[in-house]
Amino acid sequence: MEKTNKDGWKLDRSEPGPGLKIFRSRLDYMRNPRNGKTEAMIVLEGADAANIVAVTPDGHIVFVRQYRFGIGADTLELPGGAVDAGEPQADAAMRELAEETGYTAPEWRLLGGIYSNPVFMSSYIFHWLALNAEPTLPQRLDDGEAVEVVLLHEADVWNKLIAGEFQHPHTVNALLRYFADGGRFRADG
């Protein structure tokens, strides 16, 4: 099953690793083109995801504060989550916003996306813009979630972004795309 990619790395074989709650793991035995040595590389396979820059009519952005087990602390981040099998990307974004925050929006646009963590993950995250978002539904959280909804004005979001206060890379990337696209708030005026 030997495969070579354009950089010369050769996949000698793959084998499944342990199943995890939201990921499947596998070991890819890769031959290094520099020294010819083969090492087992872990790859986590999971569903693609969506996160949402939801902007209210009065210029606030909807955030969620939630505990993140990997760092053992709360983060302030954009709402989002995994795309279910067979679910269209846009539908997943709308569903995740409604479930986590109770907000819905009439206007949606794709801002772009980024690989979740190409070091060892195969999934992709799509960033969505939801305009004129308003609270219309109760939150519908999964059993493993405890989410606080936080509204921040766009100017405050910009200042927190530039100050490095957002620690979730998907949030940082989506906000950079939002502000690069113009947003409503302009840092220069």
> Residues 6 or more apart from 80 whose CB is under 8 A from it?
49, 50, 51, 52, 93, 96, 97, 100, 125, 170
pLDDT digits (tens, 9 = 90+) for 98-111: 999 999 999 999 99
Closest to 163 (Cα-Cα) out of 96, 76, 101, 99: 76
Averaged pLDDT of the chain: 90
pLDDT digits (tens, 9 = 90+) for 39-92: 999 888 889 999 999 999 999 999 999 998 878 889 999 999 999 999 999 999
Residue 32 is encoded by which pair of tokens? 């290094």
pLDDT at residue 8 greater than cutoff 90: no
Report the CATH fold assignment for 49-180.
Nucleoside Triphosphate Pyrophosphohydrolase (3.90.79)
Is the Cβ–Cβ distance between 44 and 20 less than 8 Å? yes
Distance, in Å, from the CA atom of 47 to the CA atom of 83, rounded to the nearest integer, reads 6
The one-letter amino acid code at 76 reads L
Question: How many other CB atoms sit within 10 Å of the CB of residue 11?
Answer: 16
